[in-house]
Structure 1
Amino acid sequence: MTTASPTRTATPSPILLMARHAAALRAQGQDVIDLTLGEPDFDAPAHVLLATHAALGQRQSYSPANGLPRLREAIRWRVRHDRGLHYREDQVAVGCGAKQVIFNAFMATLQPGDEVLLPAPYWASYPDMIRLCGAQPVVLPTTAAEGFRLTAEHLAAALELSPNARWLVLNAPGNPSGSTYSVAQLRELAEVLRGYPQLMILSDDIYAEIRFTDQPYATLAAVAEDLNERTLLVDGVSKAYAMTGWRVGWGCGPAPLVAAINAIQSQNCTQTSTLSQLATIAALEGERDFLSERNAIYRQRRDAALAVLRTSQTLDVLSPEGAFYLLPRIKGTHDDQDVAMDLLKVGVATVPGSAFGAPGHLRLSFATDQATLVKGCQRLVSALGDRP
């Protein structure tokens, strides 16, 4: 069988690969604690389940490729209410999760020779998405000392060296770092971006509602509205609403880009599930008291895991400001993939940091119950010991 050229070939998700390893060992009767998947262990909100049950008796017809009109209105209202941003109906694209919206945006705009600026650590799927669309990721390493944030100085230097850059990806709170940006930091980035009008900005806000700081949420689209003619704000219900399998995400941005995204959507899968869209309407229009309650639980889990990990002389780990991941660094020179496989043998599944552009690190998800999480971290610390 002949496959596509290397620039258009994807590799399997390293996150799902480690999760499959863990599942295979459990199927053999081994006790394995799985800290790989970024999947909330909560149920979808009760009012969403009730609305979905009520809709089951209705005919689920095709919707427009860009989603049901009422869903697009609910998205516009939610973005206006939460972020003070106003989008027209033709500036909203709906897809099968935020992931598909991002892919469709890249597919609509990237050509061979184009580059995408990708601050690291980054979500593991970004590089393959970019390559599948014929372009190349340009990785911009960040450091723990910078809080794993892209600085304006670093961005300016990268743009000078990347004349073919077509997109900049910003993901905050970040997966896997949990880092957020302040208004001041985003304004500094925006000042640099104003000098490069050919550059599109992807603002991946999928973890926007899962935060542990007191400062209001800041997104580039709200901080620098003059850049909105080339900014795509992406979000969805997977993380905040614990609706990963429902597969509904959206993008808000310039109408020509949204039209191109919708055209691709109409050809590659027509639409996301009508039933899932109805559930998402209920999620966006309904009460959201559960968000603060769940964030408090996530914060407790984060702190409990940090307390265990910080007993190790082998690990350095920052406290994430959002999302539900920890990214401990293994001190010394170690192959994080080998370490992750060694940990799997003693019953704890993690993801190698190299999958996220963070070699020498491990990613742990704390989207699991606290007792299991603590037990997994204890196994990890014990297995690593005091290796140099």
Structure 2
Amino acid sequence: MRQIVTSVFILASALAAASCSAAPAGDSSAASTPAPTTPDTAAPYQVSTHGNFNQPWALAFEPGTSRLFITQRQGTVVFFDTATGTNGTVTGALPTVDYGGQGGLGDIAFAPDYATSKQIYLTWSEAGEGDTRGAAMGRGKLECGSNNACTLSDFSVIWRQTPKVNGRGHFSHRIAFSPDGKYLFLTSGDRQKGDPAQDLTTNLGKVLRLNLDGTPAAGNPFADRGGVSAEIWSYGHRSVLGLKFDSQGRLWELEHGPKGGDELNLIEPGKNYGWPIVSNGVNYDNSDIPDHSTRPEFQAPAISWNPVIAPGNFIFYSGRMWPEWRGEAIMPGLGPKLLVRVAIDGTQGREVARYNFDKRLRDVIEAPDGSMWIAEDGVDAKLLHLTRP
């Protein structure tokens, strides 16, 4: 496969975006105030471009292989073998997605016991009655019979957002497994409704802790309430597009604010993160929302951005290829078209660099060798491979 290699440089420029508006996929649009500057130094990587993909949303390496699986929002799953350059397709029992707005096929995750179970998890937006929809999650068995073809079978729905509502935004549906492999954590967006994020009788606007079969995990903070309340780990969230454990086993989420106020949060069980009562942004009509500092009873973000960075996802970087980045959160941006590095100081975040790109960036993943793969957003998107020069 032909590779085009270019050098990418950091530009400490005036960047701006408003997160989760009516832009494509509802993730960003232009705003007006300058972003904080960061050190003006050359980016320590080179970029090669690979393939053409249709609205990629999530990336996941198949354990023990060099195959990188990619969900595409209209409802397909494909893969790219990063060692051979071979492309492949997943067929079989894929779910029927309700595509439109921010909706479509979402996350893909390989079960902690994938080596023996061959189970994978998918999330997507699912149609309901009367022009309603909500996020759903299912799991099935993946069999790869050749280098360019895999089949999904025995697929079933194991979780749904409750209730289904109208609109096509803020599904969130990111998956993270606990470091011990016993639990599945899942983000459930507020569906652009706001108030349900504070309502413990719904699972909208929440981070959830589930068993691997999608049922509520024992010992959750609101288990005594029963129903979907038993799923809830934390609440008061808006549109959560990143969910990761760090090397200490702590859970973090990356959340889109309204006009300003994107957040990186350290997630603790039972805590309320404030949306829509507080935010470090403002409403889209420029009306005020009280800042986090005015309501200390809510959990404040580790770091927030105003203007937004409109992140697509993030990783905690191992340091294998860039030792100086060890432990940092690496975030691709949808609105300002950038890659952001954030150092973690205890329970706080600190932006240390941002690197400009030509197109919106949807997802990032670290390869076993420490290089990084990034999916551009939108139609005719490319995979970008970042390596040390």
Which TM class, normalised by the smaller chain length? under 0.3
TM-score by length of 1: 0.26
Greater RCO between the two (CA within 8 Å, min separation 6)? 1
Larger helix proportion of the pair: 1
TM-score by length of 2: 0.26
Larger strand proportion of the pair: 2
**Larger-Rg structure:** 1
